[in-house]
Amino acid sequence: NMIHMHLTAAYICLIISGIITECYSEPNSNNSSDKVKSAFEVNVTQFLKSHCIKCHGEKKMKSGVRLDQVNSSTNEKNLFILQHAYDQISDNAMPPEDEPQPSDNEIIKALNQIDAVLTLGKMKQKPKNGSTRRLTVQQYQNLLEDLLGISDQLSNILPNDGVSVDGFSNNEDSLLLTPQLLENYFDIANRALDIFLSNNIKLPQIQSFRVDLGQGINKNPTTDKIELNGPSLFNKKDYFISEIKPIKNFKYTTIDLKKTYDFQEGYNGNATVRKWKKFNGLHHSIFVGMIGRFTGGYNYGRSSILLDEGIALRPRSPESRGGKKEPKGPSPTLSILTRELPKEGILKITAEAARYEDALQPKNIFIDPKSDSFPIKNNDETSIDIKNKGIYQIDVIFDGPPNDDVLIGDISGRTFSKRIKPPYQKSKDDRIIIPFMIVELNRDDKKIKITNGNGNNLRSFNLSLIPPDSETSKEFEKFNNRNPYISAHLGVRTDVGARLSQFDSPKKVDTNEFKKYSFYAPISSFSLPYTENNNVNYLAGLHEIAIRSEPTDTRQIPRVVIKAIEIEGPYINEWPSKEYSTIFIESQNQDESNYAKHIIKKFAERAYRRPLTINEESLLFDVWKSEYKTSKNFKSSLKSSFLVVLTSPQFLFITEQSKTPQPELLSTYELAAKLSFFLWNSGPDEKLKSYKDMNNFIASLSNEVDRMINNKQFDRFINEFVYQWLDLEKFDLVNINHSKYPKLTLETKRELRKEPSNFIKYLIRSNLKLSNIINSDFIIVNDVVSGYYGLGNLTESGYDFKPIKHNTAHLGGILTQSAILSGLSDGNHSNPIKRGAWFAKKIIADPPKPPPPNVPELSESTKSLTIKEQLELHRNQKGCSECHKKIDPWGIPFEEYNAGGLLKNKKIDSSSSLKDGNTVQDFSDFKKHLLDNYLDDIAFSYLKNLTTYAIGRTLEFNEIAYLKSEGIKKLAPQGYPLKDCIKFIIKSPIFLEK
């Protein structure tokens, strides 16, 4: 109750301060001189009455524009309307051609007088009065994690932040605060502090187990019958479960796995059995199996094969077919099911894995006339004599059709397989020849065993040395140097299959030696099985952990061998945590009151991002005193003070306090916070907070920006800003026609979505010119993305995004990225209107007005026309022309790209007459024209979006004018380097003043 009372008082003060801020108004909103006002009445008001108000007055208001109320005032709304009118008149877009036209003299006088008012508006300084904006949900989550080390996604209960008209979710006008939100903040902070204190005060409890895999590895398997729906269970002798104790540099207790169960409901085959039965042993708590077909996955052959040293997995099959997830999951998937996992904290999944010394599957026969031919008898081993280490191709000859669709080969303990199906290649004497494998052999390889079913019709195999300088040899070397990736997934097992989500990012298996690869994620972010208390169903309540070999595209990669899986939770790297040690610092104060005051002050200053006021320090200490007096528990009483901190306006709001309505420099603490929320989406580090002198801080800004951009936390900015700026949510939501675009699978979409962010991050970190946004001779891709673009032969980077030269006319820049183009479609067809409107708003900052209601549909008879012809008809309909003049010319060049974001197969007429009177012939010509004629507009748009995001509010008229004038003056000569653009904004009065 006391805490709620303090919080209520704090928020009342915040609301009052907001009201006072809003009470400041422009001293004289109509502050133009009498001379300007008089001239405006003569030259502009009369011009508008004669030529504009008929369509843009109180009654009609076409395109949402009303001009009968404009005057010579320099208030914001009036200035923006005047700027729009000025642009329309100066571009000869208004009045329309079918209306009476003003004389040149009338136009000149009207434009001059509008410009005079606009000039006054650009010089006008609006009262600043500081600012207050709520943290976004993501900033709030990041701050909690940075302060307390809590990775659990506790903020998931918060509603999504609203998106402003500018397209960003950090705008002060859209960041509302409701009573329900306050309650949520209280609940989250209370829970976070409970977890934080519990994890660091009590001795840690850790649960950990290991599953070893391999043929016959369990020398004493259980005799119990183990039955489970879902995965195909391993033979009991081929896996071994053990509880393990991770090595830590601190004391902890172990949580033993439950080994005894009583269940009433189970299964015998498909029949339900209801009878109480006792189950003993870890084999009833943890299950091991495989999901998927025997011959599933890419690089068809056996999808998995159990070896002495583990299980070898081929890259898994697609996660989805026809846009829908495979109900049983991709094949092959190694499945570990367990009844027990911790409910909170970080879960660590470790796979002990190695790259298999594998063989490449050739498409074509290669039989060297000098090669040796070896007969195959009764599926027996055949002796070979390898005189020279090298790369060999094995081709298998059949006397008749194979009697099994899998061909298997064993060479010195290595096992290979290939799926074979007609039509078969044949020799001159009409025998079937299967190009089996390309493999590296040496003198130690003495035996080869090739089998196919019962061996009938197998005749012989040829062993041919591949010339070292041949294309086949180069292809094998590429294959042999590729690294497989493994992924971990977590979810629940249900009657209809697994519900799994990816757990951390895929890991590169980069050696043939066994090594441990670990995945980390907060377990609370994943679905957990729900069962009633005292569950009596043997099959219910199972967590599922899945391990897969991840393909980057359809190219062949070596298999991966999984030797063991280890599960540890909650994973604790150090205890107490560094966050706890930072808060509960060692102190010479033996007196509990002084020590508590010291701890509270340091914690609150980190949370508030500034020093405490005397009143704040006193209030927080009083909370502790009151709680401690009652409970006599030092740390639980501190929790009460911490709770006030984490639910206070000082924590939940980014505040810039000013003393007067006049512009003032930010304080060093305000600048540190503003910088960090801009570039890191979280609070400042100690380096930023160390500046005490503002002049010194400003002089160091360039170096600080470099440091912050090179920090891994810069990804927090990139992911938020690029996603919102380029409106990538559209790509997440578009419903793709998968029969038309089968390559656009769920996993491909996941990687394509990352391309824009990685591209912009590369441009910023390299400080490259803005022109690269429109056209670049390189793209930033991984193997998935390059494969989608048909450039898979140019990359060998796996899942890592790297720059490559694309050497094509239809790629480069952001305008040709599939995530953007596909998102701006209907999922079936390209959409020039969506693409044109997006380009106008996001790239050149000239957004069209929202479409009017009841826009008439085109008749069915127009369906045979091209999109370009349909648009022309649409523009000619009443009420459509003016809006589409600002959209269609930009959108038509994009017609070269389909709804999957790739170049269309057939030639498209994408020529377009732009608003500047020039015609571009195709998309390449369009990009060139943009760079030659619109680079300053594109730069302004980028600066406008970046600045809007940086300061968390919509820009004022004079701020927009500043970006247009000073941005061009200071950045254009160098070509608008993207990192320099960030520095320009941060050093501008827009950012530095409050």
Q: Which of 98, 113, 99 is nearest to 46 (CA)?
A: 113
Cβ atoms 436, 396 nearer than 8 A? yes
> What pLDDT digit, counting tens, does each position of 677-686 carry?
999 999 999 9
Q: Which of 216, 260, 266 is nearest to 238 (CA)?
A: 216
Residues 923, 938: Cα–Cα separation, whole Å: 17
CA distances for 604 relative to 4, 592, 616, 638, angstroms: 18, 18, 9, 11
Cβ atoms 146, 158 nearer than 8 A? no
Containing 277, the helix (H) or strand (E) segment is strand 271-280
Helix (H), strand (E), coil (C) string for 31-85: CCCHHHHHHHHHHHHHHHHHHCCCCCCCCCCHHHCCCCCCCCCCCHHHHHHHHHH
Sequence-separated (6 or more) residues with CB below 8 Å from residue 18: 132
Residues 775, 251: Cα–Cα separation, whole Å: 57
Cβ atoms 623, 3 nearer than 8 A? yes
**Within 10 Å of residue 233's Cβ, how many Cβ atoms?**
17
The token pair at 794 is 């140019």
Q: What is the pLDDT of residue 25?
A: 38
Share above pLDDT 70 across residues of the chain, in percent, rounded to a whole number: 90
Cβ atoms 257, 282 nearer than 8 A? yes
**DSSP-assigned beta bridge partners for residue 347:** 521
- Tokens 């001779």 belong to 777
- Top-confidence residue, 706 or 46: 706
879: confidence class by pLDDT, cuts 50, 70, 90: low
Helical spans, DSSP H, in 440-485: 471-481
Cβ atoms 593, 372 nearer than 8 A? no
- 738-764: buried (b, 16+ CB within 10 Å) or exposed (e) per residue? beebeebbbbbbebbbbbbbbbbbbbb
Task: Label residue 856 exposed, middle or buried (CB < 10 Å: 0-12, 13-18, 19+).
Answer: exposed
Residues 811, 423: Cα–Cα separation, whole Å: 38
Angle between helices 755-766 and 701-710 (to 10 degrees): 140
Taking every pair of Cα atoms in the chain, the longest distance, rounded to a whole number of angstroms, is 109
Q: What is the pLDDT of residue 865?
A: 66
Residues 259, 257: Cα–Cα separation, whole Å: 6
Strands 205-213 and 253-254: parallel
- Tokens 């967590």 belong to 543
Q: Which of 141, 172, 166, 174 is nearest to 946 (CA)?
A: 166
Q: What is the pLDDT of residue 20?
A: 38
CA distances for 990 relative to 635, 656, 978, angstroms: 44, 13, 18
The CA-CA-CA angle for residues 448, 451, 457, to 5°, reads 120
534: confidence class by pLDDT, cuts 50, 70, 90: confident
DSSP 146-164: HHH---S-GGGGSPPPP--
Q: What is the pLDDT of residue 119?
A: 80
Residues 335, 706: Cα–Cα separation, whole Å: 45
Average pLDDT value for residue range 276-295: 87
Residues 717, 801: Cα–Cα separation, whole Å: 18
What are residue 155's phi and psi, to 5 degrees?
A: -75, 0
**Within 10 Å of residue 913's Cβ, how many Cβ atoms?**
12
Residues 87, 694: Cα–Cα separation, whole Å: 40
The token pair at 936 is 């300053």
**Amino acid in position 518:** S
Residues 412, 392: Cα–Cα separation, whole Å: 15
Containing 927, the helix (H) or strand (E) segment is helix 923-933
CA distances for 993 relative to 131, 592, 661, 790, angstroms: 10, 42, 11, 49
Task: Label residue 400 exposed, middle or buried (CB < 10 Å: 0-12, 13-18, 19+).
Answer: exposed
Q: Which of 398, 496, 384, 497 is nearest to 439 (CA)?
A: 384
Average pLDDT value for residue range 172-178: 90
> What pLDDT digit, counting tens, does each position of 410-451 carry?
999 999 999 998 999 999 899 999 999 999 999 999 999 999
**Within 10 Å of residue 483's Cβ, how many Cβ atoms?**
18
Q: What is the pLDDT of residue 70?
A: 86
Cβ atoms 840, 886 nearer than 8 A? yes
Q: What is the pLDDT of residue 19?
A: 37
Q: Give the predicted TM-score (pTM) of the model.
A: 0.87
3-class SS shares of the chain: helix, strand, coil, % to 5: 40, 20, 40
**Within 10 Å of residue 794's Cβ, how many Cβ atoms?**
17
Average pLDDT value for residue range 658-673: 93
> What pLDDT digit, counting tens, does each position of 648-661 carry?
999 999 999 988 88
- Top-confidence residue, 786 or 3: 786
> What pLDDT digit, counting tens, does each position of 492-514 carry?
987 766 788 999 999 999 999 99
Angle between helices 614-631 and 2-23 (to 10 degrees): 160
Average pLDDT value for residue range 527-546: 83
**Within 10 Å of residue 842's Cβ, how many Cβ atoms?**
18
Average pLDDT value for residue range 738-763: 95
Strands 458-465 and 515-522: unpaired
Q: Which of 501, 642, 510, 651 is nearest to 182 (CA)?
A: 651
What are residue 144's phi and psi, to 5 degrees?
A: -60, -45
Q: What is the pLDDT of residue 728?
A: 98
Strands 205-213 and 560-569: antiparallel
The CA-CA-CA angle for residues 218, 220, 226, to 5°, reads 80
Q: What is the pLDDT of residue 22?
A: 39
Sequence-separated (6 or more) residues with CB below 8 Å from residue 620: 600, 601, 604, 612, 641, 644, 645
The token pair at 976 is 């608008």
Q: Tell me which of 621-625, 875-879, 894-898 is least confident.
A: 875-879
**DSSP-assigned beta bridge partners for residue 897:** 903
Q: Which of 829, 847, 844, 835 is nearest to 886 (CA)?
A: 847
Q: 983 pLDDT exceeds 60?
A: yes
967: confidence class by pLDDT, cuts 50, 70, 90: very high
Residues 224, 260: Cα–Cα separation, whole Å: 13
Q: Which of 63, 45, 47 is nearest to 55 (CA)?
A: 63
Q: What is the pLDDT of residue 537?
A: 82
> What pLDDT digit, counting tens, does each position of 453-486 carry?
999 899 999 999 999 999 999 999 999 999 999 9
- Top-confidence residue, 178 or 509: 509
Which regions of 796-941 does DSSP assign to beta strands (E)?
802-805, 912-913, 919-920
> What pLDDT digit, counting tens, does each position of 911-955 carry?
999 988 899 999 999 999 999 999 999 999 999 999 999 999 999
Q: Which of 462, 408, 473, 470 is nearest to 440 (CA)?
A: 473
DSSP 584: S
